[in-house]
Amino acid sequence: MPMKKTRKTVRLCLTLLLGGVLLLAGCVPPAKTGGTASVVTPDFFGVGEELALQLISGMRSAGGGQRLILTTVVDLENLYATTSFGRTLTEALSTSLFRNGFGVVEIRKSAELLIRDNRGELMLTRDARLLAKQQQAAAILTGTYSLTPTTVILNLRLLDAGSQQVLSVAGLELQRSRNINHLLAAGGGGLGDAFLSVRER
């Protein structure tokens, strides 16, 4: 009789213990997964880091320690205009590239540096090549964004300052959110109405 009671007691304890473990497991928050940017509150430094790592991993010649010229990310449909979105993204890229060992020279008024060829591709102007030589920069980073009803498509190209050879590319497609739409609508304006403004990191 005492033996049966002992067995029942053991079974009861095991049942309660298992139930407690399952209850605790249900309270543990799920592991975080996903991309570098939240749909609701975009993490622009996360986006900048993702794009910077894409560029670095695809580089063919320029490496860490090189000086890069960053032009403001512009609207694909109008190379002479950008928004707060383009400026914020450029700032985030500058920070990420600097943290990854690159010297960074930012060009605030960059319309004079880019033209389209007869196929519609972005090319560097003579002014861009002269500026790169003056700044002792190995490459120039150009970027555009284009809009769909629900997303923003980002494309970056790192061009050799002398030959214009494409050294690396990067791209992301971000979900549009209230915050992104606010930045897209804010601070719009031309880029070609002033002298080139240079800021170095």
pLDDT at position 62 is: 54
pLDDT at 34 over 50: no
Mean pLDDT for 49-55 is 90
Helix (H) or strand (E) holding 105: strand 103-107
- CATH number, position 180: 3.40.50.10610
Of 180, 176, 201, 5, residue with least CA distance to 86: 180
* 2 and 73 housed in the same domain: no
Task: List the structure tokens of 181.
Answer: 């739409």
Mean pLDDT for 118-123 is 60
* 124 and 191 housed in the same domain: yes
* 59 and 147 housed in the same domain: yes
* 80 and 128 housed in the same domain: yes
- Helix-helix angle 84-99:44-58, to 10 degrees: 60
* 120 and 148 housed in the same domain: yes
The structural domain count of the chain equals 2
Of 155, 83, 159, residue with least CA distance to 125: 159
* Structural domain span for residue 11: 1-30
* 10 and 48 housed in the same domain: no
pLDDT at position 76 is: 87
* 159 and 138 housed in the same domain: yes
Mean pLDDT for 16-42 is 41
pLDDT-derived band of residue 60, with 50, 70 and 90 as boundaries?
low
Residue 92 has phi, psi (to 5 degrees) of -65, -40
* 172 and 112 housed in the same domain: yes
Antiparallel, parallel or unpaired: β 114-116 and 122-124: antiparallel
Please give the Cα distance from 121 to 125 (Å, whole number): 13
* 92 and 140 housed in the same domain: yes
**Inter-residue contact 155 to 169 (CB < 8 Å):** yes
Q: Which is more confident, 142 or 108? A: 142
Please give the Cα distance from 97 to 100 (Å, whole number): 5
Percent of the chain with pLDDT over 70: 59
Helix (H) or strand (E) holding 169: strand 166-175
* 20 and 42 housed in the same domain: no
**Inter-residue contact 17 to 62 (CB < 8 Å):** no
Of 142, 144, 148, 146, residue with least CA distance to 128: 142
pLDDT at position 28 is: 40
pLDDT at position 152 is: 93
Q: Which is more confident, 148 or 33? A: 148
Mean pLDDT for 109-114 is 58
Q: Which is more confident, 77 or 61? A: 77
Mean pLDDT for 138-144 is 89
pLDDT at position 33 is: 33
- Helix-helix angle 84-99:178-185, to 10 degrees: 110
* 7 and 100 housed in the same domain: no
Least confident of 11-25, 57-71, 112-126, 146-160: 11-25
* 146 and 71 housed in the same domain: yes
Q: Which is more confident, 186 or 113? A: 186
Of 103, 81, 132, residue with least CA distance to 124: 132
Q: Which residues pair with 58 in a beta bridge?
A: none
CA atoms in the 13 A half-sphere facing the CB of 106:
17
